[in-house]
Amino acid sequence: MKRFIPHCMKIMLMVLFIFLLIACEKAEPTESESSPEPSLELEEEGAESGPIHIGFSMDTLEEERWLKDRELFKKEVEELGAKIDIMVANEDVAKQIAQVETLIHNGVDVLVIVPYNTEPAAAIVEKAHLAGIKVISYDRLIKNANVDLYVSFDNEMVGELQAKAITSLVPTGKYVYIGGAITDNNANLIKKGVFKVLQPYIQNGDITVVYDQWTEDWNPDNAYKNMLAALEANHNEIDAVIAANDSTAEGAIRALREKGLAGKIPVAGQDADLTAVQRIVQGEQAMTVYKPISSLAKETADLALKLADGETIKTNRKINNGKIEVPSILLSPIEVNKDNIDDTIIADGFHSREDVYGE
Ligand code: GAL
């Protein structure tokens, strides 16, 4: 067969092969993504300045939820006839600031930011305002800056739901707290909610928190190491674990498995990652906190376009970020355990029945 392919045919096949390679390259999730120019009739609408242009600066795509945020927010923005530029900083402060400079240079009308680090991100807000661009803090609050709007879930309530679920299963005993990333204001809020519920139990001596550590970059491997340290320091005598999200819960459960304790010690998580919901079905994780990302994406897209149109947004809440009372919208999180997976996550199509139960 090979012997009979004429020379020119080989060259054509080579060209075809290279062409396919480039096309596949295009398919890879990149650090930046932008939507195609909206069709002509949309053009007419904002003929003089073209469609509204949103810049979405994300921290990471490491956790499953952020892939959903990217996809759903892009869909909502484009369905409203606007265009979007998305950039992902991969947990790098300098890169996020540089990417935002690029988005400003690209002429975005509004910036939507998921800050990697809540403090240095203040510089981003300043740069945007100097360019006359409004800033929405998405899911995570930027501290000490004149943020125009904050849209998220009630993260303190996330912690309260976690602690209420675990204290109902383990009202007395030794607790381990696996916190989130200290660079993320949400980690502080979640912890505040957890300890608000635990305090009375701690006060009357029923519960002792024998280990309490932040997890750098929310990284499951760091959570795994922390959990191992907690087990070793307490001779494996632990009664409950509250982990700030499902990826840190995954790390903690990996350590429990090594000690033959997985499924014996209730573990709380957050984000309703598919693997976490599967662990709940298998009995290795007690609960997670589901946050309907589609509502967050829709709400933020609507508000971003209103801000771009120069509208003033009235909100029923204000959150102090250390500098100002930021107009805020906080959506309600939902507790999920083995009894309500169907009525929540599956009913919403967040995960399919096949994926969760493997049916
Ligand atoms: C938090 C977010 C959580 C979690 C975490 C890790 O800010 O609210 O859903 O996933 O980041 O990225």
Q: What's the pLDDT tens digit per position in 267-313?
A: 999 999 999 999 999 999 999 999 999 999 999 999 999 999 999 99
- Helix residue spans in 234-359 (DSSP H): 246-258, 274-282, 293-308, 353-357
Q: What are phi and psi for residue 336, nearest 5 degrees?
A: -130, 130
Ligand 1, pocket residues at CB < 6 Å = 63, 65, 139-140, 180, 184, 186, 218, 245, 271
Q: Flag whether pLDDT at 28 surpasses 70.
A: no
Q: Flag whether pLDDT at 62 surpasses 70.
A: yes
Q: Which of 110, 5, 8 is nearest to 51 (CA)?
A: 110
**Distance between CA 142 and CA 152 in Å, rounded?**
12
Q: How many CA atoms lie within 13 A of 7 on its CB side?
A: 0
Q: Quick: pLDDT tens for 187-203.
A: 999 999 999 999 999 99
pTM: 0.88
Q: Flag whether pLDDT at 43 surpasses 90.
A: no
Q: Flag whether pLDDT at 34 surpasses 80.
A: no
**Distance between CA 157 and CA 153 in Å, rounded?**
8
What percent of the chain is modeled with pLDDT above 90?
85
CB atoms within 10 A of CB 203: 9
Q: Quick: pLDDT tens for 215-229.
A: 999 999 999 999 999
Using the mean position of ligand 1's atoms as its centre, give its distance from the Cα of residue 11 in Å: 50
Report the nearest atom of ligand 1 relative to the CA of 152.
Answer: 8
Q: Quick: pLDDT tens for 75-97.
A: 999 999 999 999 999 999 999 99
Using the mean position of ligand 1's atoms as its centre, give its distance from the Cα of residue 215 in Å: 12
Report the alpha-carbon angle 301-302-303, nearest 5: 90
Q: Flag whether pLDDT at 36 surpasses 80.
A: no
